[in-house]
Amino acid sequence: MAIRVLLVDDQPLLRTGFRLILESEPEISVVGEAADGHAALADTRRLLPDVVLMDIRMPGKDGIDATREILRWANGSGQQVRVLVLTTFDLDEYVVEALRAGASGFLLKDVPPDELAGAIRVVADGAAIVAPTVTRRLLDRFADKLPASRERPAPQLDHLTEREREVLRLLARGLSNAEIARRLVVSDTTVKTHVGNVLTKLGLRDRVQAVVHAYETGIVRPGEDED
């Protein structure tokens, strides 16, 4: 079945450009367009897209608030909706807030067409499009500007085993599963199991949110070097 995409941007020309790109992909279907966050939430409820391609800076309800409300609604209704945010700058503090709100990653607005389609496929498949190394770079730059989380209390890190804490720390430093496996002298499968346990115990959606939470709870601190 085709991946259903909702386009959200206050600039009609950009929405038209994205639609032309995505409609050339046989496995992607653009089911609607919205010009602001209020319309995005209403259209998500009505059209049930798999992926919302979300602009950040819009009049009225911005993309961060819209992302937060869309994913809160999706979690409450059991719908599988993913949000992929768009930004003009690759180091934009608003991107961090969008990731904290639950977005599965971000793209630059000048993303090449093949990368746009590829990112939508990745997100629709339940993965995150922002590499942990990129997320760490964002957090290192903007951590001192992040407000306290308003959505939920800090994760219950005491539920993690010592090994799971170690895996979370390495994951937050940008290491891949293979790199973590080499560091801990275990198999890739074991690392994958530990990562899954960390996400489940902390109620996180993906590796990107795991990196954010590692910073929020002090597991990793901005600018901290690897051991």
pLDDT at 147 over 60: no
Q: Average pLDDT in the 148-177 region?
A: 75
Which two structure tokens, joined as six digits, stand for 47?
A: 């059209």
In 3-state terms, what secondary structure has residue 7? strand
Report how many helices (DSSP H) and strands (DSSP E) the chain contains, helices first: 10, 5
More confidently predicted of 147 and 144: 144
Task: Give the count of beta carbons closer than 10 Å to the beta carbon of residue 9.
Answer: 25
> How crowded is residue 139: how many other Cβ atoms within 10 Å of its Cβ?
23
In this prediction, residue 8 carries a pLDDT of 96
Phi, psi dihedral angles at 153 (to 5 degrees): -65, 165
What average pLDDT does this structure show over 202-225?
76
Residue 178 in this model has a pLDDT that exceeds 80? yes
Residue 54 · residue 66 · CB < 8 Å:
yes
Q: pTM for the whole thing?
A: 0.67
CA 8 – CA 191 distance, rounded (Å): 37
What does the block give as tokens for 106? Answer: 């971000």
| pLDDT band with cut points at 50, 70 and 90 for residue 153 | very low
User: pLDDT confidence of 151, banded at 50, 70, 90?
Assistant: very low
Tens digits of residue pLDDT in 82-141: 999 887 755 556 767 777 788 888 777 877 888 888 889 988 887 766 655 556 666 666
Mark 96-127 as b/e (b = at least 16 C-beta within 10 Å). Answer: bbbbbbbbbbbbebebeeeebbebbbbbbeee
Per residue in 7-32, pLDDT (tens digit) is: 999 999 999 999 999 999 989 999 99
Percent of the chain with pLDDT over 90: 44
* 182-207 average pLDDT score: 90
Q: Which residues contact 110 (CB under 8 A, 6 or more apart)?
A: none
